[in-house]
Amino acid sequence: MKKQYLEAGRIVNTHGVRGEVRIQPWADEAAFLTRFRRFYIDGKPVKVRACRVHKELCIAALEGVEDVNAAMALKGKVVFIDRDEAKLPPGTVFLQDILGARVVDEQGRDLGVLAEIMPEPSADVLVVKGEREILIPDVPAFVLAKDPDANLVTVRLIDGM
């Protein structure tokens, strides 16, 4: 079952003295978080007054967080978003939705379960655990389909994988 609220980042520090926070985004691009008018922290909705990208982080002004002390109290907290408020480009999925999915090759042979997704500079790497561990770059040449509804990822392997 897909979760309604998705982890989107972590508050890593304060920014300035007016209560802004720095958020390390867990998305392909930091700009993704600037689209939201509400985050969820500790299970409670928090209105986003402003959000901008600065050096691959999001700087956010949150309602009720008016000074550096209030911002410091949020340091280390995970920021969630509501799935219904997120609009993904066609053909993309939330990685959280495919973790634990069955992974098969082009012929339908079971390779194991998608156990982890490692972020790397050039492309994420899918860690498949089955009879053996397989590392697969998350690029179209190797990952043919991601179907979160069927809990299935289809891949193309090459010699040496």
Give the tens place of pLDDT for each residue, 83-106: 999 988 887 888 889 999 999 999
Examine the domain organization and report whether 34 and 73 are in the same domain.
yes
CA dist 151 → 21, 75, 103, 128, 133 (Å): 36, 34, 9, 14, 19
| CATH number, domain containing residue 28 | 2.40.30.60
- The token duo for 150 is 């069927």
Cβ atoms 148, 93 nearer than 8 A = yes
**Do 106 and 74 belong to one domain?**
no
Alpha-carbon Rg for the chain in angstroms = 18
The amino acid occupying position 113 is V
pLDDT at position 123: 87
Q: For tokens 């010699």, name the residue.
A: 159
Domain check: are 62 and 120 in the same one? Answer: no
160 falls within a domain:
no
In a domain, 21, yes or no: yes
Total domains present in the chain: 2
Query: Does one domain contain both 100 and 78?
Result: no
Residue found by looking up tokens 């520090």 in the block? 13
Residue 38 pLDDT more than 90? yes
Considering the domain architecture, whether residues 34 and 59 belong to the same structural domain is answered as yes
Q: Which of 24, 58, 85 is the endpoint of a domain?
A: 85
Same domain, 40 and 101: no
Mean pLDDT of 32-41: 96
140 assigned to some structural domain: yes
B/e letters for 45-58, b = 16+ CB within 10 Å, e = fewer, are: ebebeebeeeeebb
State the pLDDT at residue 1: 62
Q: What's the pTM value of the predicted model, to 2 decimals?
A: 0.77
Domain with 140, as residue range(s), is 95-155
pLDDT tens digits for range 47-82: 999 999 999 999 999 999 999 999 999 999 999 999
Taking every pair of C-alpha atoms in the chain, what is the biggest distance, in angstroms?
Answer: 58
Average pLDDT of the chain, as a whole number? 93
The reported pLDDT for the residue numbered 52 is 97
pLDDT tens string 104-150: 999 999 999 999 999 888 888 999 999 999 999 999 999 999 999 99
